[in-house]
Amino acid sequence: PPILVVQLELEPATWLYLATI
C-alpha cells in the first residue's frame, strides 16, 4: 500500500520526518 510521509521543519536545518510504515 502507499506510504504517507509527513515532514515538518522544527528549526532551520532540522526536519522531522514521519512515515506510516
Partner 1 sequence: TADTRWRRLRRRLARSLPGTLRGRFVLIMVVGVLAAQLASYVIWTSQVRDSRLAQLEELSSNVAFSVASTMRFFRSLPREYRHIVLDQLRDMGGPRFFVSVNEKRLDVADIGEGPEKARVVETFRRILTEQLDIDAVSVEFSRPETLRVFNNEVLLKDL
Residue ranges that bind partner 1, judged by CB under 8 A:
1-11, 13-21
* Nearest distance, CB of residue 12 and partner 1, angstroms: 10
C-alpha grid cell, residue 20 = 506510516
In the bound complex, what is the minimum distance in angstroms from residue 14's beta carbon to partner 1?
6
Report the b/e string of 1-21 with b at 16+ CB within 10 A: eeeeeeeeeeeeeeeeeeeee
Residue 21 gets which letter from DSSP? Answer: -
Q: How far is the CB of 18 from partner 1 (least distance, A)?
A: 5
